[in-house]
Amino acid sequence: MGNHWYSRPVLMVADVERASAFYTGQLGFTESWRHAEDGELLVAQIARMGCELILSSQWPDKVGRGMIFLSLDPDEIETARAEFERRGVSIRNGRWGYDSMIIDDPDGNQLYFPYPASTNE
């Protein structure tokens, strides 16, 4: 594999089923796999175009504290925003180093999609 790094951030959520439904239904992810113990869904992985996130309810004291930057190609961010708006996603504009489109998941985890640098001028 050479010098390839691979990461899958874990977002802490109160209810994995609810969180997975938001990411798949509202943000266009697909669920890759899920893990349950004694009938309780504890972990699921979601993916979209190479971006993989793990949703876990195993650490209730950490729910909703995640913040992730998701970089899109400059010509894709407006297309993504229009898609999310069509799906009824609540979007706000904000800034953390870059002007960004910000989406809060149902637990309060924040997804930052930075706009291309040209919009920062």
User: Which residue type, as a one-letter code, is found at position 29?
Assistant: F
**pLDDT per residue as tens digits for the range 27-55:** 999 999 999 999 999 999 999 999 999 99
pTM of this structure: 0.90
Q: Within a domain: residue 2?
A: no
**Spatial contact of 90 and 106, defined as CB atoms under 8 Å apart:** no
Q: Within a domain: residue 4?
A: no
Q: Within a domain: residue 5?
A: no
What is the Cα–Cα distance from 89 to 105, expressed in whole angstroms? 9
Q: List the domain range (segments joined by +) for residue 49.
A: 10-120
**Spatial contact of 55 and 68, defined as CB atoms under 8 Å apart:** no
**pLDDT per residue as tens digits for the range 61-106:** 999 999 999 999 988 999 999 999 999 999 999 998 889 999 999 9
Q: Within a domain: residue 90?
A: yes
